[in-house]
Amino acid sequence: MKPQSFRQTLQHLFWTLALALGLSSAVVALSGASPWDAYRHILFGSLGSWQKLAQVFRVWIPLTLCSLGLLYTFQIGLWNIGAEGQVVLGAVGATAMVRWFNGAPPELVLPAALLGAGLCGGFWALGAGLLKTRAGVNEIFAGLGLNFVATGLLLWLIFGPWKQPGIASMSGTETFPEAYWFPGLAGWAVSPYALGATLAFMGLTAWILKTTRLGLALKAIGRNPQASYLLGLSPWRWMLLAMLVAGGLAGLAGAYQALAVYHRLIPNISSQYGYLALLVVMLADERWQPIPVICFFFAALNVGSIQLPMMLRMDSSLAGVIQGSLVLSALAVQGLTSKRRNTS
Partner 1 sequence: MNDWHVSLFVASLLAGAAPLVLAAMGETVTEKAGIINLSLDGTILLAAMAAFVTALETQSLLLGFGAGAATGAFMAAVVAFMSLHLRQSQVAVGFVLTLMTKDLAYFLGNNYARLPGPQVPMIPVPLLKDLPLLGPSLFQHTAVTYVSVLCIGLTWVFLYRTRFGLILRAVGENPGAAFARGIHAPRVQFLYTVVGGLLVGLAGAAFSLSVKPGWGRPQGAEGIGWIALALVIFGGWHPLKVALGAYLFALLQMLGITLQGLWPSIPSQVFQTAPFPLMIFTLAFMHLAERPEMERWAAARPWVGRVVRFLKARAPRALGRPVLPEQHP
Q: Which of 168, 208, 241, 306 binds partner 1 (CB under 8 A)?
A: 168
Indicate whether 225 belongs to the interface with partner 1 (CB under 8 A). no
Which amino acid is located at 34 in the chain? Answer: S
Distance, C-alpha 126 to centroid of its chain: 18
Q: Answer yes or no: are the C-beta atoms of 251 and 120 closer than 8 Å.
A: yes
CA 137/CA 332 separation, integer angstroms: 30
Q: Which of 4, 138, 212, 224 binds partner 1 (CB under 8 A)?
A: 138
Q: Which of 13, 104, 144, 311 binds partner 1 (CB under 8 A)?
A: 144
Q: Which residue, 295 or 319, is less far from partner 1 as judged by CB?
A: 319
Which amino acid is located at 44 in the chain? Answer: F
Least distance (Å) from partner 1 to the CB of residue 204? Answer: 27
Indicate whether 268 belongs to the interface with partner 1 (CB under 8 A). no
Q: Which residue, 34 or 212, is less far from partner 1 as judged by CB?
A: 34
Q: Count the residues of the shown chain that bind partner 1, applying the rule CB under 8 A.
A: 53
Which is nearest to 60 in space by CA: 305, 322, 302, 259?
A: 302
Q: Which of 8, 9, 31, 102 binds partner 1 (CB under 8 A)?
A: 31
Indicate whether 232 belongs to the interface with partner 1 (CB under 8 A). no
CA 131/CA 150 separation, integer angstroms: 16
Segment contacting partner 1 by CB under 8 A, of 4-12, 50-58, 175-183, 324-332:
324-332
CA 123/CA 130 separation, integer angstroms: 10
DSSP codes of every residue in 110-179: HHHHHHHHHHHHHHHHHHHHHHHHHH---HHHHHHHHHHHHHHHHHHHHHTTTPPSS---TT-SPPPPGG
Q: Which of 278, 280, 295, 303 binds partner 1 (CB under 8 A)?
A: 278
Q: Which residue, 109 or 327, is less far from partner 1 as judged by CB?
A: 327
| Contact map string, positions 95 to 134, toward partner 1, x by CB under 8 A | ------------------------------------x---
Distance, C-alpha 340 to centroid of its chain: 33
Q: Cβ neighbours of residue 38 under 8 Å, at least 6 residues apart?
A: 28, 308, 312, 314, 318
Q: Which residue, 135 or 186, is less far from partner 1 as judged by CB?
A: 135
Q: Cβ neighbours of residue 142 under 8 Å, at least 6 residues apart?
A: 82, 127, 128, 131, 132
Binding site for partner 1 (CB under 8 A): 27, 30-32, 79, 81, 131, 135-138, 140-142, 144-146, 148-149, 151-152, 155-156, 159-160, 163, 168, 275-276, 278-279, 282, 313-315, 317-321, 323-325, 327-328, 331-332, 334-336, 338-339, 342
